Amino acid sequence: MSYRPLISLTTDFGYDDPFVGIMKGVIYTINPQVNIVDLTHNIHPHNIQEAAFTIGMNYSYFPKNSIHVVVVDPGVGSERRPLLVYADRHCFLGPDNGVFSYLYKNAPKDLQVIHITSEHLFLKKDSPTFQGRDVFAPCAAWLSTGVEVNKIGDTITDYHNVQLPCAVRQSALLMRGEVLFTDRFGNAITNITRTDMDDLRRGQGDKIKIALKGNEIRLSEYYSHTAGSGMSALINSSGLLEIFIYRGSAASEGNILPGDEVKVFLAR
């Protein structure tokens, strides 16, 4: 496999956490020439589902042969396995806790899941609770120098795959979905996709309406289009229906939580 010059980092640490800098230091020590990109460190703590959607929806914007380190790991220190997932000519390193379930769901033909066992590549530390530093960062760095994927460990098929919620077409007029997570602006990201919306209204010529926790929400094209109109919705840059309040927090004002039901229906 070819040299991989770019590593992205996704964690639930927060940008001001020294753990982020420590992981970068480990990577640069092994390969000072590598490029590191912070995809995000604002995943909500321990939210595996949010991390799965974040990496699954965004990795394709990186060049082929990029390496993506995902550390959202509430089970760190336990017997859960460290993984290297090869998919769509990208490498992903992280815990075997379902954080790569979006990749498994789409199942590219080149999907390969490897249990990382090559301990000679690890950073030798006594603590079992920071595998981002001791396992995933150094292995990513070694991959970036040209170490082959098949030198990292053994291929497995019994990896942990969580069931990611999908929107359900309830009838010809109704789609049901749910809130996946809320971001730092208080926007509520749902699992209803642009395709779901298009399929619902295809050929009908009817007006879409959205309901969440008793609120009837109108669909807009962009954020400021709804200034002063209260709770609104749009299709965001990841192709997902997003509930928002312009310059406000829909999550706070509407008491919106992950798992809340969202209905999209055709008004006749």
- The helix/strand/coil state of 180 is strand
Confidence bin at 166 (pLDDT 50/70/90): confident
Residue 32's nearest CA partner among 2, 1, 7 is 7
Residue 113's nearest CA partner among 157, 143, 144 is: 157
Give yes or no for residue 97 having a pLDDT over 80.
Answer: yes
* pLDDT higher than threshold 50 for residue 1: no
Work out the angle at residue 37's Cα, subtended by the Cα atoms of residues 32 and 39, and round it to the nearest 5 degrees. 150
pLDDT value for 225: 74
Percent of the chain at pLDDT > 90 equals 68
Direct distance between the N- and C-terminal alpha carbons of the chain, in angstroms, rounded to an integer: 56
Q: Please, is 45 exposed, middle or buried when counting C-beta atoms within 10 Å of its C-beta (0-12, 13-18, 19+)?
A: exposed
Dump pLDDT digits (tens) for 131-161.
999 999 999 999 999 999 999 999 999 999 9
What predicted TM-score, i.e. pTM, was given to this entire model? Answer: 0.87
Domains of the chain: 6-155 (3.40.50.10790), 168-267 (2.40.30.90)
Question: What are 189-237's pLDDT values in tens digits?
Answer: 999 999 998 888 875 656 888 999 988 898 888 887 766 678 999 999 8
Helix 137-144 and helix 18-30: axis angle, to 10°? 30
Least confident segment among 40-49, 124-133, 196-205, 239-248: 196-205
